[in-house]
Structure 1
Amino acid sequence: MDKVNLRRRILRSRAELDETTLRESSAAVRELLLDQPWVQMAGLVACYWSFGAEPSTHGLILALWKHGATVILPVQRADADLDWAVYDGPDSLAPGPGGYLEPVDVRRGPDAIRTAALVLVPALAVDRTTGVRLGRGRGHYDRALARVGPNVPTVALLHEGELIEGVPAEPHDQPVRLAVQPSGITRLVQM
């Protein structure tokens, strides 16, 4: 299946998820991550503010922040790259140009992700063999992931059934090293 059709299929499946399933899925993903020592010890975490039917990151970000981690969130740039700014609590977000909530803090530049000890990224699906993630098709996160060091955990947050075989890959696609679904954490690419 090509990326466009696979993306449509997964977005359609996500649209059919009820509020209870979304809430329970997000809570399971959050708790799995917060139980990991490599998450607990990460001083600087790059994450994203979820929207729609994505596994919610809102509670995860708040928990990381309350436990002393510095969390940076993406800010969309006009050149399709991602800038980064620090999350400083729920009141530190405002709608950005794409309608997504973004931090209002000082922009740290696209290379700020290089200093993260943990990188959490959105994905519609991830290939269980190669770690290639299917995003929304704009390449923001492939550019960002290309800047991340080889020993940093890069983690895609998924709903159950979104870790699959056969995600189409292109030369610019950057694999993630781990995928988290409500049923568990899967290591995909060696660090």
Structure 2
Amino acid sequence: MHPTLAINEDHSVHPIVTKTGLRAELLARRAAMPSETRSGAARPIRDALLSVPEVEMAGTIAAYVSIGDEPDTRSLLFALWKRGAYVLVPRLLPDGDLDWASYEGPDSLVPGARGCLESSEPPRGPGAVASADVVLVPAVAVDRTGVRLGRGGGSYDRALARVGPAILTAALLYDGELVDSVPAEPHDQRVRAVVTPARGLVRLG
């Protein structure tokens, strides 16, 4: 199926679309997005998250350093850190799993695998994400039941499988990337909320 047919005007997904086709369409849309739209997404996402009760009360927050066309998280990371939260960011391991280390301000970030920035602080192990009170993850799309479409590597599915059922897990998206359905596979780990520039935090499920 041609990827331009995947998403309808109302953001519903064609019922026979594959993950590969949906991912390709949404990444193409991000690439074509005006730079001011991308840059303008960071502040409302940050401000919405900073006012979420679970985030306000969290002692430890697992987040990530955005790359490429993802909604920018750098100001969010800095704000969480300045507020006093213990912020963990991932480090991609050779087997595709995620290790975690503390974010200690912008100067603690160094180039890592596959063009990602990671913390220069000592790694705490893949299981460190289980200690987080809130977990923020990247996504290309999420559906209204929480099924998350990532980049296809499975790293965050492995990480989310270690997170307890009462923990807020939220994906950061651009407007229009919360869709009616995403093709699901047995290993997929659902998120419990998304955050978009226009809608703020939307709880799912």
Which residue of structure 1 lines up, in the alignment, with residue 198 of structure 2?
183
Q: How far does residue 38 in structure 1 lie from its aligned partner after superposition?
A: 1.5
User: 17, 22, 25: which one pairs with 1:9?
Assistant: 25
Matched, 1:106 2:132: no
> Which TM-score applies when normalising by structure 2?
0.90
- C-alpha distance in 2, partners of 1:49/1:176? 18
Equivalents in 1 of 2:97, 2:67: separation in Å? 19
> Cα offset for 1:68?
0.2
Selected match of 1:18 from 20, 28, 34: 34
Residue deviations 1:57-103 (CA, integer Å, cap 9, x gap): 10000000000001000000011110000001111111112110000
Q: Give the whole-Å Cα distance in 2 for the aligned partners of 1:41 and 1:188.
A: 21
> Is 1:74 matched up with 2:83?
no
Query: In structure 2, how many angstroms separate the alpha carbons of the residues matched to 1:99 and 1:12?
Result: 19
Moved runs in structure 1, 4+ residues, more than 4 A? none
Give CA deviations for 1:125-183 in whole Å, capped at 9, x if unaligned. Answer: 0011x201000000000000000001100000000000001201000000000011112
| Long gaps (5+) in structure 1 | none
Query: Secondary structure of the residue that 2:167 maps to in structure 1?
Result: coil
Matches within 5 A, 1:26-37: 26-37=42-53
Which residue identity lines up with residue 29 of structure 1 in the other structure?
I
Give TM-score scaled by structure 1 length. 0.96
Unaligned stretches of 5+ in structure 2?
Answer: 1-16
Q: In structure 2, what is the equivalent of residue 151 of structure 1? A: 166
- How far does residue 6 in structure 1 lie from its aligned partner after superposition? 0.5
Aligned-residue sequence identity (percent) comes to 54
CA displacement, residues 91-116 of structure 1 (integer Å, 9 cap, x when unaligned): 11111121100001111000000000
1:138 corresponds to which residue? 153
| The 10-residue stretch of structure 1 (176-185 or 106-115) with the greater mean CA deviation from structure 2 | 176-185
What displacement does 1:18 show? Answer: 1.5
What is the match of residue 43 of structure 1? Answer: 59
Aligned residues: 188
How far the C-alpha of 1:121 sits from its partner, in A, is 0.2
Residue type of the alignment partner of 1:12: A
